[in-house]
Amino acid sequence: MFPADLKYTKDHEWLKPAGDGTALVGITHYAQEALGDVVFVDLPEAGTSFAEGEEFGTVESVKTVSELNMPAAGEILEVNASLGDHPEAVNEDPYGKGWMVKVKLAGDLAGLLDATAYAALVSAESH
Runs of H (alpha helix) within 5-127: 29-35, 89-92, 115-125
pTM score:
0.96
User: Per DSSP, what are the bridge partners of residue 74?
Assistant: 50, 105
Give residue-wise pLDDT tens across range 23-44.
999 999 999 999 999 999 999 9
Which domains, and CATH codes, for the chain?
7-111 (2.40.50.100)
Q: Residue 1 pLDDT more than 90? A: no
> In b/e form, how buried is each residue of 71-90, taking b as 16+ CB within 10 angstroms?
bbbbbbeebbeebeeebebb
Give residue-wise pLDDT tens across range 43-90.
999 999 999 999 999 999 999 999 999 999 999 999 999 999 999 999
**Under 8 Å between Cβ of 45 and 76:** yes
